[in-house]
Structure 1
Amino acid sequence: MSNTELLGLERQERIAQILEQRGTLTVAEISESFDVSEATARRDLAALASRNLIRRVHGGAMRAHTVATSEAPILNRQEQNAEIKKRIGQTAARRIQNNETVLLMGGSTGLAVARELGEHTNLTIVTDSLFVANELMRQGNHKVIMLGGMIDPAEFAVRGTLLRLILSELQVDKVVLGTKAISAQRGLSAESAEEAEIARAFIHVGHHVIVVADSSKFQQTALVRVVPIESIDTLITDAGIPPSALESFRERGITVEIV
């Protein structure tokens, strides 16, 4: 990829972020703010719309979605269902074997998994989370690869185009990730198109996909579909999972572990 192409991707990422904050942007505003021609601004919007990150309107664009529900920042979520998350983390850790390569997505449950890897040896762990990386570095017995990109201050995690470009080049033994919402019918869901795209990129690089989610995730809804439920291999959750959901997951060939 040339420097010009990378600059274009960075500009598009910034446009998407501004739209998330403001709701709308015109072609003229983009042209003036980024010192590019209106033709270039239109091409940027077309590229973003093709990835479902924005919605084109006459003369400009608007954000692609309205968030149905919003999670608290990770600092506030760490203590929610802490004991359940600890048990989920312990069970997920048992699924990971020494010498494996693991892609561990951030979030409060992902951090709970990281905390249970202290007895493992010679893991190579790739993560988007500053908290997860810090915990693994504290343990001192793994190779830790921190993904690059723009840092989301609410999640202490990396986001953006550069992150997705790096992920597209990876392949790992196991992917471990959380989710905003999950159901057998709708699969995994996320709050925004960007979050969905990142989660999808994580899932596509793993030979075995493990979703870690406490049972509250079965009672939530989120706007953007990530993947159908058949895209995952193992679900680790707690005893609060509705019996009908448990049956539906197992009918679809998914291994469900209850902690």
Structure 2
Amino acid sequence: MSLSDLMTQERQEKIVQLLDHKGRLTVFEICDAFDVSEATARRDLAALASQNLIRRVHGGAMRMQVVATAETPIVQRQGQQTEAKRRIGKATAELIGNGETLLLTGGTTGLAVARDLRQHENLTIITDSLLIADELLEHQRHNIIMLGGVIDADEKAVRGTLTRILLQHLQVDKAILGTKAISLERGISVETPEEAELWRAYIHTAHHVILATDATKFNQSALVQAVPIDAIHTIVSDASLNDDYVEQLQDKGIFVVIT
């Protein structure tokens, strides 16, 4: 290894250490800290991202987050990325036309979408989420169908074989889904084979699949691959999603909405 390569490796290791400490760095902060050009800083970030050591975002990078095997209950997640989820919910609702039939799955971003469907008319909304059903019933503007299954107390949603069987007999215009882990290589990944089967049922049900999720969920991976990235037709996310990542998604034929 040449001296130049050693210097590059050492600098990149220090960038990772800084991200571990600060959580996020801009390209300009890296230039100042290591007295390198903007082009060199961007090459370092690209190299580290390719090793899944960091996550690129607009103008810099963030520390890579590991998807926990122990799920955080939804009531605790509701306080995370709240402004981003509010904007994503609004932008996703704008993709929905009056009179459509939807599958809207549980999760904090799905709940944000439900809140922005208040002004729509005559929707039929199928959901697996007790929280979403409760939110929609408050306004009594739509036809609500609650899926059956075993109640997941942490997620306030139904799961299991019965849920999957019911989905296999339904057809909707659009499915609006959320995820905790998505990557270009593995698509949507989840923690259990049962959850992966449920995801495949979601996809099979819909003519058009919309993934509504904040930027922290990208370049993440969980234990079991559920569906490939090209199973998604539209992605709605926030402005923290890296521009290069957006281009790669678009290259795969995915329509991307950044809000």
TM-score, length-scaled by structure 2: 0.72
Q: What CA deviation, in whole Å up to 9, does each residue of 1:38-85 have, x standing for no partner?
A: xxxxxxxxxxxxxxxxxxxxxxxxxxxxx8533310000111001100
- 1:233 maps to what in 2? 233
Q: What CA deviation, in whole Å up to 9, does each residue of 1:179-222 have, x standing for no partner?
A: 12111221111121111111111111100000011000014321
1:107-256 to structure 2, matched below 5 A, reads 107-256=107-256
Identity of matched residues, %: 55
CA contact (8 A) 2:92 2:236 kept: yes
Q: Match of 2:71, SS?
A: coil
Distance between the aligned counterparts of 1:186 and 1:249, measured in 2?
Answer: 13
Larger radius of gyration: 2
Q: Match of 1:158, SS?
A: strand
- 1:91 maps to what in 2? 91
Distance between the aligned counterparts of 2:242 and 2:197, measured in 1?
Answer: 28
CA contact (8 A) 2:184 2:219 kept: no
Distance between the aligned counterparts of 2:161 and 2:195, measured in 1?
Answer: 12
Aligned CA-pair RMSD: 1.2
CA contact (8 A) 2:181 2:190 kept: yes
Q: Which amino acid aligns with 1:76?
A: Q
Q: Displaced runs of 4+ in structure 1, greater than 4 A?
A: none
Residues matched between the structures, number: 193
- 1:74 maps to what in 2? 74
Distance between the aligned counterparts of 2:172 and 2:220, measured in 1?
Answer: 30
Distance between the aligned counterparts of 1:237 and 1:68, measured in 2?
Answer: 21
Distance between the aligned counterparts of 2:214 and 2:242, measured in 1?
Answer: 12
Task: Structure 1: state its 5+ residue gaps.
Answer: 1-66
Distance between the aligned counterparts of 1:153 and 1:248, measured in 2?
Answer: 37
CA contact (8 A) 1:130 1:156 kept: yes
TM-score, length-scaled by structure 1: 0.72
Q: 1:111 offset after TM fit, Å? A: 0.5
Q: Which amino acid aligns with 1:159?
A: R
CA contact (8 A) 1:176 1:209 kept: yes
CA contact (8 A) 2:179 2:213 kept: yes
Task: Structure 2: state its 5+ residue gaps.
Answer: 1-66
- 1:102 maps to what in 2? 102
